[in-house]
Structures are given as structure tokens and as C-alpha cells.
Amino acid sequence: MRFIKNIFLVIVLFFVNFVIVNFIPHPYNQISIISLIIVAFLLLRSNYFNLNYIIVLIFLIELFSGLPFGVGIISATIVIYIMKWMLNNVLTNRSMYIVFLATSITTILHRILLFVFLYIFNFFLGNETILNSDILINTGYELGMTLIIAFILYMILSKSAKKINPTYVFK
């Protein structure tokens, strides 16, 4: 039953990403659903079996992206394991500041690795990678919108999820 529920969650998150990217106007469609999902899964369900569901979701998103196949899934997989290590060993507190920091690091690291792997892919194909100032502006929009949604999700989840709700410590 849990497997079916998790697969259903992956499909719903895929459609949410599809709707946000394709049907919302420009500055608002820059929300990094992948970063939000990585941070949320790592905060709430931090075992390796559940990380496989994130990889399946990223594979589905990769099928509909305009990037060469594999660039997005490789960069997202590296970010997943780096952030899992950081949230387990460095950022052990689950406060709002740590969620903001983890979301920021995830978004920026995912974007940097995406551009690096895209550059490497285009280098071996002999294509030219065009990097201009619009990329920095869009990354800023992406970071801002992702942090706003992360704040809203943290406020909702901090009331319901005991793993990130620090009030049980004071009782």
C-alpha cells in the first residue's frame, strides 16, 4: 500500500511540476520543484529507499525537458546525495533557517551542476553553450520563488510533521 501511495505522490508531483512550468506566467513559473522535493523528502523521509522515488520523479521530468537526456538526472542525483550528507552531518537542526539554507544550496548547486554537465555534453558534441546574463536573472527568480514556496511549505509542515516541529522538545 505504501508503494502505491508513493507512486501516486510521484505522479501528482510530476503533474504539479508540469502545470507550473507550462501554464504559469514567466517570473512565477521559475519555481524549482526539484529543489523543493529534494529538501522536503530529505527532511521528512530521509532513508535511501525513498530517495529512489525522487530519482523516478526527476526521470519523468527529464523526459519533458528541453535539455539533452541525462543532464538533469545526473545533476539532481549528485545534489540529492550531497544534500543528504549535509542535512545528516552539517545542517542537523530543522529550523526555518536551515530549511531556507538547504533550499538555497540545493537550488544553486543543482543549477551549477546542470550548467557544468550541459557544457561538458555540448563540448563533446562540438556545440556551443551560450551563457548570458539572462541565466543569472532567471536563477535569481528561481531562487526567490523557490524560497517563498519553501517558506509556505515549512509553515504548513511545521504544524503537522513532528520531525520538523520543535515544540515536542519543550514539553
**For position 35, what pLDDT does the model report?**
80
Cell reading at 19: 502545470
- Domain interval for residue 46: 2-166
User: What is the CA angle 146-108-17, rounded to 5?
Assistant: 40
* pLDDT exceeds cutoff 60 at 170: no
**For position 157, what pLDDT does the model report?**
78
Q: Would 149 be classed as within a structural domain?
A: yes
Say whether 90 sits in a helix, a strand or coil: coil
Model confidence pLDDT, tens digit, residues 106-126: 989 998 998 899 888 888 888
Rounded Cα gap, residues 33 and 22, in angstroms: 13
* pLDDT exceeds cutoff 70 at 158: yes
Cell reading at 27: 517570473
pLDDT band at 171 (very low <50, low <70, confident <90, very high): very low
Rounded Cα gap, residues 82 and 76, in angstroms: 10
Q: Would 23 be classed as within a structural domain?
A: yes
Model confidence pLDDT, tens digit, residues 28-38: 777 887 788 88
Closest CA to 61 of 100, 80, 34: 34
* pLDDT exceeds cutoff 70 at 150: yes
Q: How many domains does the chain have?
A: 1
Q: Would 52 be classed as within a structural domain?
A: yes
* pLDDT exceeds cutoff 70 at 44: yes
Model confidence pLDDT, tens digit, residues 3-23: 888 788 888 888 888 888 778
Q: Would 171 be classed as within a structural domain?
A: no
Chain-wide mean pLDDT for the chain? 80
Q: Would 131 be classed as within a structural domain?
A: yes
Based on its alpha-carbon atoms, the radius of gyration of the chain, rounded to whole angstroms, reads 17
Quick one: the chain helix, strand, coil %, rounded to 5?
A: 80, 0, 20
